[in-house]
Amino acid sequence: MVATVLGTSVVSAVSAAPAVKPAASSAQVQNSTLTINGNSVVVRSIVKNGETLVSLRDVIKAIGAQAEVHSGTTVIKLNDHSVTLQNNSKQIVVDDVKVNLNQPVTIIGGTSYIALRPLVSGVGGTIVKRNGLLEISTVSLLEEAENPRFAGADKLIVSKSNNDGRTDYLVNTTSGKYDLLLTTDGGSDLVISPSGDQAAYTNAEGAVYVIDLKTKASKLITSDNSIKPELVWSADGSAIYFLQGDKGSVIAKLNLADGVITKVVEDKVDYKENLNVSADGKKFIYTVTTLGTVTSDTTNVDEDNVSIDFSSNQQQIFSYNTGNTKPEAVKLTTSTDDKVFVWSADGQKAYYVSVPSEDGKASLLSVDSSQKSTPVYAEYDVEQAILSGGILYILAAQDDSNSVILSIDPVTGKQTKLYTVSSDVSSISVAGSQISVVENGRVLVQAGGSWRAVTK
């Protein structure tokens, strides 16, 4: 990593104010503004032979590193890394590995100046450029996190699971700092509110809680212990819809103000999943799965000769409009393909990824009450689709080495290729202009054209 960044100058990324002190050489000491671990920091800097060097003392203080000086040698320690350097030397030692510098460590007015990138990389930090300014993070990152979801600006909820349950963390996407949010055993995933400042979840008994993401305090909304396999926030954040019962037969609504539960759809149709709710709360899109059938004598199902025919297993998309005079479930699809990543903005048209039963590319389709599926995207093999802010976002495998992330406007059909990423990217998360990916177990966020790791 260090070798990769050494040749990159940071001149264009440093915001320089007028010179504050003349230097002993042609270099002038300037005040430069950097973002370090989420904070705006002013450090002294010089430009030497086209490369920006920063005050070693200022950067050490800003990143909170330890420094020891013995016989002209400075040893900097942070995050189990060490950087050893000497004044006027064009070489530093990073964790016992020698690294060459383009410019020697330079002394001006009793202060040592060094290139920023090798110093930050040496202590395990990262640097990205956004809006013309450098953003530096030297925070020790959370390990082995998964399932990233944006929670407002510059915040992600991620989770870690083990045999004892699941732990959720709130991660600052600028600095990488993280805070413990919730520990649960048997509870549901946190579902973030439209405003991004709250999240809902159920405990193992089915009770519903809402956690304030600022105070990290949870509030019990209802102790109703019916199974709630899916939670969906209303558009205005005043209620939560959910599937009720172990078979997901009922669609119910939980009022957050008083905890009252109302059954909205009770059509006796089991195995609902992928619940989507329209903004007005009257229209619903969901899938229904039909199970295999017993093909042998059903009078004694305990006998060994009982067999089940799974060929009839199908998942179909349905819509339901409670505003109709005689509301009823409307079957939108009849095909036998697997249907994943089902989304709807209005409760009438659904978007889904169609996975063929045999070898072939998965594609993004749309369907409405006409029961006619229409291709939306089929160029590359679709791995994931997200509907966010009325825009579709797709992760698709381009070839064995690369995948692409693109956006599609459902109204105009305009497709925009956003990024080419490694085929190791397994999922994406989107909220407004914010986008994250999971690559080889790490969560990275897009920042000014670069990908910044926020977990490791």
426 located within any domain: no
Within a domain: 110: yes
Q: Which residue has the tokens 């059909």?
A: 413
Domain co-membership, 304 together with 359: yes
What CATH number does residue 58 fall under?
3.30.457.10
One domain, residues 131 and 185: no
**217 and 363 assigned to the same domain:** yes
Q: What share of the chain is helix, strand, coil (3-state, %, to 5)?
A: 5, 55, 40
Domain that holds residue 361: 152-376
Asked if 442 and 171 touch (Cβ cutoff 8 Å), the reply is: no
Kindly state whether residue 248 falls inside one of the protein's structural domains: yes
In Å, how far are 142, 363, 365 from 377, measured between CA atoms? 35, 6, 7
Q: Tokens for 93?
A: 């030692």
Q: Of 376, 396, 424, which residue constitutes the final position of a domain?
A: 376
Residue 180: how many CB atoms within 10 A of its CB? Answer: 10
pTM over 0.85: no
Q: In this structure, how many other beta carbons lie within 10 angstroms of the beta carbon of residue 370?
A: 9
Q: Count CA atoms closer than 13 A to 81's CA, side-chain side.
A: 20
Listed residue (269, 289, 189) closest to 229, CA to CA: 189
- Please give the chain's pLDDT, 456 residues, in tens: 333 333 333 333 333 444 444 444 457 999 999 888 888 899 999 999 999 999 999 999 999 999 999 888 999 999 899 999 999 999 999 999 999 999 999 999 999 999 999 999 999 888 887 777 788 888 888 999 999 999 999 999 999 999 889 999 999 998 888 999 999 999 999 999 999 999 999 999 999 999 999 999 999 999 999 999 999 999 999 999 999 988 888 999 999 999 999 999 988 888 999 999 999 999 999 999 987 565 665 556 565 565 555 555 689 999 999 999 999 999 999 999 999 999 999 999 999 999 997 788 999 999 999 999 999 999 999 999 999 999 999 999 999 999 999 999 999 999 999 999 999 999 999 999 999 999 999 999 998 788 888 998
Question: How many structural domains comprise the chain?
Answer: 2
CA angle 379, 383, 389 (to 5 degrees): 90
Beta-carbon neighbour count of residue 225 at 10 Å? Answer: 12
Instruction: Please tell me whether residues 173 and 104 are part of one structural domain.
Output: no
- Residue 328, Cβ density class (10 Å: 0-12 exposed, 13-18 middle, ≥19 buried): exposed
- In a domain, residue 156? The reply is yes
Question: Is 354 among the domain residues?
Answer: yes
Residue 261 covered by a domain? yes
Reference 105, options 70, 127, 72, 133; nearest CA is 72
Same structural domain for residues 59 and 184? no
Please tell me whether residues 30 and 78 are part of one structural domain: yes
CA separation for the pair 353, 367 (Å, rounded):
11
**Residues 223 and 246 grouped into a single domain:** yes
Give the whole-angstrom CA distance, residue 164 versus residue 125: 32
- Among the candidates 344, 376, 408, a domain finishes at 376
Domain containing 221 — which CATH number?
2.120.10.30
